[in-house]
Homo-oligomer: A and B are copies of this chain.
Amino acid sequence: MGSKERIQRLKEENRINILEAAMQIVKEEGWQALSMRKIAEIIEYTAPMIYEYFTNKEALLSALAAQGYLQLAKKMCDAKERHAEPTQQLEAMWLAYWDFAFAEKELYQLMFGVGTQCCEQQKSFGGSNVHSKMVSEVIQEIMKDKQPSADILCQKYFTFWSVIHGLISINLVNEGLLGESNNQQILKDAIQGITRSLKD
C-alpha cells in the first residue's frame, strides 16, 4: 500500500513547514525572537513535536543554513552562466553573493555568523568612530596631493576596514580555517594594495 509513501510525504511536509515557520518568525521579529513554541504555534502543533524532526534547536538552525548555502550556490552559479568571459563571471558571481546577502540577510547572518544578538549601541555610540577618525586622518595625509573629497576618504577608509574586518571575521567564525602565514600574506597584500591605490 502506498500509504507509507503518503505518510513519508506528510512528514517531509511537516519538516518544511517547520523551517518555513522559523524563517517567517525570524524575518518578522529577528533571530532573538525565534523560539520552539512560536514555531509550533504557527504550524499548529506543540513544541515537543518539533523534536521528532530536529534533534534540537541548533540542528534546526543548521538545516536552515544548509538551505541558505544551496540558494547562494545556485544564485552564484546562475550569475556565472550569464557570462562567458572569466573576469566578468567573477564580478557577476560576487555581485550575486552581495545581492543574496541583502535579499536574505537573516539567512546570511546565520550562515556566516554575522552578529545577530549583541548590543544595539553601535549606531548610537558610533562604535567604530573612535578609530575611524584616527585612520581617516592618516589616509588624508597620504592623499593630500589629490585633495580627496570627504566621500572618497570615507570610501577608502571603509575599503580598508572591510577587508580587515572580513578577514578577522572569517578567522573567528571558522577557527583556524586559514593558516597563519596565509593570513599574514593576505593582510599585508591587502593593506599595501589599497595604500598603493591611495597614491596613484
One of B118, B170, B194 near A158 (C-beta < 8 A): B170
Chain A at the B interface: SS class: helix
Q: Mark A40-73, 1 if CB is under 8 A from B, else 0.
A: 0000000000000000001001100110011011
- A positions within 8 Å CB-CB of B: 31, 58, 61-62, 65-66, 69-70, 72-73, 76-77, 80, 86-87, 89-91, 93-95, 97-98, 101-102, 105, 108-123, 125, 127-128, 130-131, 134-135, 138-139, 141-142, 151, 154-155, 158-175, 177-178, 182, 185-195, 197
How many chain copies does the complex carry?
Answer: 2
CB distance from A85 to the nearest CB of B (A): 9
Contact B118 A110 (CB under 8 A): yes
